[in-house]
Each structure stands twice: as C-alpha cells, then as structure tokens.
Amino acid sequence: MEKTSSEQTIIEAALKVFSTKGYAETRMADIAKEAKLSYGLIYHYFENKEKLFDAIVGNWWNAIYEEIERLKNSPVSTREKLVGIVKFMLNAYNEMPELMSIFIAEVSRGYIYHSNPQRRENILKYLKVCEDIIREGQARGALRTDLRPKYLTYIFIGSVDTFLSVMVLGNEKLTKARETRIIDSVTSVFLHGAEAEEAH
C-alpha cells in the first residue's frame, strides 16, 4: 500500500532521530518535532514508537530478502553471489546512511531488538538465505566442505558487518575505490584465506 506524504515524512524524520539518539532515547515527541507535524498526527499513523521502528526496519528486511533471494536463484557463480551481497549492503550504506546506522546499532547488535522473538526471526531468515547460498557453493565445489555451511555463513556475514560498523561509527565516506577494496578484501579472504602463499 502506498504511503501518504505525512506517513513518509514521519518515517524520514524517525530515521534521522533513531540514527542520532538511538532507539532507547528516542521519544515520539522528538519525531514529531523533526517531522514538523503535530504529536497527535504521529499517533494517527503509528500506535507507538515500537510500531514506527518496526515499520522502518520491516521495509529494510523486505529489501534484503528480495535481493538475496534474487541472488540465490540466479545462475551466476558463488563468488558473484557473495559479491552481490556485499555490493547491496555497501550501496545501502551509501544511499541510506541513517537506515544503515539503525541496522548496525539497533538491529545487528541491539539487545532490545533481539529480545523480541518476531524480530529475531528476521535475522535468522537473513542468515538462512545466506546459508543456502553457501551450501550451494559447497555443492558446486566452489567452497570447502570441511566446515559447516552455518559457520561459513557467520564468517562471511560477520566480515561484511564489521566493515559496515567501522564506516557507520566513523561516519566515513564510501568512495568507489574503497568499495572495490572492501569487496575484494572480503571475497578474497573468505574464498582463499588470509594465510600467505609461502606458508603452504
């Protein structure tokens, strides 16, 4: 369903406030002030802060699921699928820094978010689709099979998450050159390891 202009204004204001003050410190009054709308109008669209936060994060999860499912079902190589995941996350950081800030601080590492079983399911679904890609890579012979696909998934997603965290915390710019270096670093180390060739 298409959002009204007021609803979109509220969501954009909430993104700014949640990303700067954090979920715990944000009040609906703060969002109303940022949106330049009445306190009552905020509650007309969103019952409470939790519902508003979930609406924002829900849109984000839908975008992630759509992209990763697309990659999973595409005929490209395992490496290209992994590169696609990294590119998607970096592009989201570049185009929606406030949303990525919320994802890193409140979702990926947020106890309040994970304490809710339904919200926790979102993370688990994300990991599951990524694990499907890893398992397929093992079946193709592109990835080692002496490690469980779940562990390989944690290693891969963890490395992407760490790069994003550093950029979010440092409010760093993502240039095209840096994007290329991050993609090459993550995929090369994940696929080939960090051990020097002469160590073999």
Cβ-defined contacts of 93-98 (< 8 Å, 24+): 93/164, 93/167, 93/168, 93/174, 94/174, 94/179, 96/15, 97/19, 97/168, 98/15, 98/16, 98/18, 98/19
Rounded Cα distance between 147 and 7, Å, is 46
pLDDT value at position 41?
92
Output the six-digit token pair for 135: 């398992």
Q: Do 82 and 47 contact (CB within 8 A), yes or no?
A: no
Mind listing the domains of the chain with CATH numbers? 1-46 (1.10.10.60), 54-199 (1.10.357.10)
| pLDDT value of position 1 | 42
How many CB atoms are located within 10 Å of the residue 52 CB?
Answer: 23
To the nearest 10°, report the CA torsion of 82, 88, 89, 90: 100
Neighbouring CB atoms inside 10 A of 118's CB total 7
> pTM for the full model?
0.88
Gap between the Cα atoms of 140 and 77, Å rounded: 9
What pLDDT is recorded for position 28?
Answer: 95
Could you list the mean pLDDT of each consecutive 10-residue stretch along the chain, which spans 200 residues? 77 94 93 93 92 90 94 96 96 92 85 76 92 97 96 96 92 92 95 75
